[in-house]
C-alpha cells in the first residue's frame, strides 16, 4: 500500500517541478539570442593570424562589438518568427523563417534543440 503512494508522490513532485520550471517565450528568445551572438563571436570574429596588425585588430574589435549588440536584434527576430506550443510540463518552440526552420524543446528551464535545419 505504501509503494503506490510513494510512487504517486514522486510522480506528482516531478510534474509540479516540470510545470513550475517550464521556460517561457522570453527565456527562449534570450537563449537563442545568446547562442547566436556566441556563434558570431566564434565563427566570424575569430582571427587566425598570430600577429595582428592595426587593420586586423580594428576588424576584430568591430566584430566583437557587432556580436555584443546583435543580442537584441536576434531576440526581436526570434520573437517575430517563433510559435510556442505549451504542454504545461514542457514547451516546443518552432522558429520559422523563410529559409530556416528549427524546433526546440523547453523543459526544466533548459532548452534542447531537436531540429536545426534549413527548409
How confident is the chain (119 residues) per 10-residue block, as mean pLDDT? 87 96 96 87 65 68 78 89 96 90 95 82
Q: Can you give the pLDDT at residue 54? A: 72
The domain locations on the chain are 2-118
Q: Can you give the pLDDT at residue 19? A: 96
Instruction: Look at residues 81, 88, 98, 87 and name the one whose alpha carbon lies nearest to residue 32.
Output: 81
**Residue corresponding to grid cell 534542447:** 112
Q: Can you give the pLDDT at residue 82? A: 95
Amino acid at each position: 500500500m505504501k509503494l503506490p503512494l510513494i510512487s504517486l508522490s514522486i510522480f506528482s513532485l516531478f510534474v509540479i517541478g516540470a510545470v513550475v520550471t517550464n521556460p517561457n517565450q522570453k527565456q527562449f528568445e534570450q537563449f537563442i539570442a545568446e547562442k547566436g551572438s556566441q556563434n558570431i563571436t566564434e565563427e566570424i570574429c575569430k582571427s587566425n593570424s598570430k600577429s595582428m596588425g592595426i587593420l586586423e585588430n580594428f576588424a576584430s574589435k568591430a566584430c566583437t562589438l557587432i556580436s555584443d549588440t546583435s543580442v537584441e536584434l536576434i531576440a526581436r527576430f526570434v520573437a517575430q518568427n517563433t510559435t510556442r506550443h505549451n504542454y504545461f510540463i514542457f514547451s516546443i518552440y518552432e522558429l520559422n523563417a523563410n529559409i530556416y526552420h528549427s524546433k526546440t524543446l523547453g523543459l526544466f528551464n533548459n532548452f534542447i534543440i531537436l531540429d536545426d535545419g534549413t527548409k
